[in-house]
Structure 1
Amino acid sequence: MLQPISCNGYSIYFNEDGYEKLRQFIQEKNHSKVFILVDENTHIHCLPRFMGNMAEDFTAEIIEIEAGEVYKNIETCSQVWQVLSEMGADRKSLLINLGGGVVTDLGGFVASTFMRGIDFVNIPTSLLAMVDASVGGKTGVDLGPLKNQVGVINVPETLLVDTAFLNTLPPEQMRSGLAEMLKHGLIYDKNYWKEFQNLSALDLNDLDTLIRDSIIIKNNIVMEDPREAGLRKTLNFGHTLGHAIESYFLQNPEKPTLLHGEAIAIGMILETFLSREIEQFPGEKLEQVSSVILSYFPKVTIEENDIGSIISYLKYDKKNTHGNINFVLLRDIGTPSIDVRANNELITRSFTYYKEQESN
């Protein structure tokens, strides 16, 4: 059995143990009403399993939103607030967010702001949400193409990670979550990074352990720096350029829509290149990082005339201060460096480096 993880103000429980704790919590709190937020995919693929693991007399109102990052906005929040009001939600109600990062981010924000805050529980159903959105209390929505521009930091009452939900995911969604796990190794733990050199040798039990270890890494960082004054910024490795690429591709009808992890994977290669140029990150390790990431993530075509537009998105990054674009780079694997600046010429060269890499 995977042992629970204690976070700032709540605990993360796993699999069967998690359902038992959730049943206890709901019984003790005696909420006036329970609501479950799902999207159209988790409604079909995850809700039946969740309800089957709850007590027979457990009842809840289901609220469904449309699936996809494009619906992670204030308009969707307004609709959910409206439905909560119409269904008689009050300050003693509970919102259970059953879904990937869009559902947990948006649902956490809806709960944190409805009647100035009601209880919420997160049940992440994608690998990305389990290892990333599940920890740290960041809630929020996008503002047009700008990622997570509006939100609050507020933790759930409890969090349940049921790895059986991963069986419902298509391969590209599994890969998307893998990007954040790779990132946790690169910024924090070289031994954890080594585990990913040969993932084909691992079985499902190994994956459960890797997921728990990834959550522990993120939790350790968040516990030490809950308000993102220093260390927590390291979690943004790969995200400065990754988010800009994700936003640009989202806005450009001629481009394929990239999943979060697919964009972050590119961002990590680009920012590891910057690390070599600025922080003297070892060249052979840059080659290794690129090779490992490209063994999981197919190359994405980024044309030369895309680069200027992608760079223009950097000004919206939330780590920026006083008009400066701040990067998280690496001095070595497991040794990050925060608030580093890079000029446009170097950033452009990082795209050239990515373009020259061979897909594995």
Structure 2
Amino acid sequence: MLDRKLPAFLEAVACDRLFVVCDEVVSELHTSLVTRLREALGSHTFLTLPATESEKTTNRLAELWSWLADEGATRHSVLILIGGGALLDLGGFAAATYMRGIRTVNVPTTLLAMVDASVGGKTGIDYHGIKNLVGAFHAPLEVFVDTSFLSTLPIEELLSGYGEVIKHATLMGKEAWQEILRIGDPAGLMDDEWEALIAKSVAYKSSIVEADPTERGLRRILNVGHTVGHALEAYSHTNTFRRALPHGEAVVFGLLIESYITSLIKGTDRTYIRQLMHLARELYAPFFYTCKDYPELLRLMRHDKKNTSGKIVLMGILEPGKVEAIELEGEEKIKEGLDFLRETFGN
């Protein structure tokens, strides 16, 4: 149980004070668990915050800095973050920059946060309309995963997190990918099945991060689907669209588009694309856009951190378990990839 494991871990950590930031929705939905956790941790400073992607701003970051300063946090303090990916990104960046860095412990409460944001040390805020444009690498002391938090997740949030599980399985290779295909819709999985699936996903990502902590080489493969996916996600949060794409869903659409572009350039077999398309249609609703949206999507892609020498770079899936960086000459192949999803997914 989280209220036993976390305090036991912290007993062995030398610190002067504990500071806890909790997603206000989590605090409301899991009142009993959060109350037990606060009692088990003893005397500490507790703050609840709204924790959506729209809260990852300089204003909210400054609010966290001010709170830490006003409450007397020092470089010997520990900040515990309880919430989804947005809170872990924001709180982690505040910790990375306050007094040049204080330690954090992550308690992810969404599937997306459990398999993605809580692991790897990436922190940041959105800026100038670009997702995670400003941030820092700041690895947590420890991550505590408790699948009981999944019981209150809306199905859309569960499936968003599953998008990152799909991505990791793609990278792990054919065996992991076939397991995802056998599962299909994950909504009916039992707790022990979730724990096993999450453990595999986290172990894989951790192995990549340990080999390349600051994303100078191998770790870039974790960005498959993200060049296009981040652009779709960011653009969907403007007033242009009727619905905003959750991150994991955008990643799946990005995987489809980028894998198709890779097949155009490398002539790879499209079995994976067909399988992923079938799975995506089972799990996700269509996301509609038109050719008129391409200039803004391309503008967003040009800000991707993988780009080099003015060229858009994506990590292309050759087949499950095999990835290659693709530098794109011009924009035509991206437009063909956007055409592919627009013309096939909803049909």
TM-score range, shorter chain: over 0.9
Q: 1:23 to 1:277 in 2, by over 3 A?
A: same
Confirm whether residue 350 of structure 1 aligns to residue 334 of structure 2.
Answer: no
1:247 equivalent among 224, 229, 234: 234
Partner of 2:130: 146
Contact 2:105-2:142 at 8 Å conserved across structures: yes
Bigger relative contact order (CA 8 A; separation at least 6): 1
RMSD across aligned C-alpha pairs, in angstroms?
2.0
Partner of 1:311: 298
Confirm whether residue 340 of structure 1 aligns to residue 324 of structure 2.
Answer: no
Partner of 1:263: 250
Q: Which amino acid in structure 2 is aligned with residue 140 of structure 1?
A: G
Alignment size in residue pairs: 344
Partner of 1:285: 272
The alpha carbon displacement at 1:137 in A equals 0.8
Residue-by-residue CA offset, 1:132-182 (whole Å, 9 max, x unaligned): 112111111111321111111111111101111111210000011000110
Between stretches 187-196 and 97-106, larger displacement belongs to: 187-196
Partner of 1:137: 121
The alpha carbon displacement at 1:118 in A equals 1.5
Q: Which amino acid in structure 2 is aligned with residue 235 of structure 1?
A: L
Unaligned segments of structure 1, at least 5 residues: 1-15
Correspondence 1:89-128 to 2 at 5 A = 89-128=73-112
1:331 equivalent among 308, 318, 328: 318
Partner of 1:78: 62
Contact 1:274-1:342 at 8 Å conserved across structures: no
Q: 1:66 to 1:203 in 2, by over 3 A?
A: closer
Between stretches 49-58 and 189-198, larger displacement belongs to: 49-58
Q: 1:69 to 1:355 in 2, by over 3 A?
A: same
Q: 1:144 to 1:42 in 2, by over 3 A?
A: farther
Following the alignment from structure 2 to structure 1, what is the Cα–Cα distance between the partners of residues 193 and 138? 31
Contact 2:17-2:76 at 8 Å conserved across structures: yes
Unaligned segments of structure 2, at least 5 residues: none
Q: Runs of 4 or more off by more than 6 Å in structure 1?
A: none
Contact 2:235-2:297 at 8 Å conserved across structures: yes
TM-score, normalised on structure 1? 0.90
Q: 1:279 to 1:46 in 2, by over 3 A?
A: farther
Question: Identity percentage over the alignment?
Answer: 34
Partner of 1:210: 197
Q: Which amino acid in structure 1 is aligned with residue 7 of structure 2?
A: R
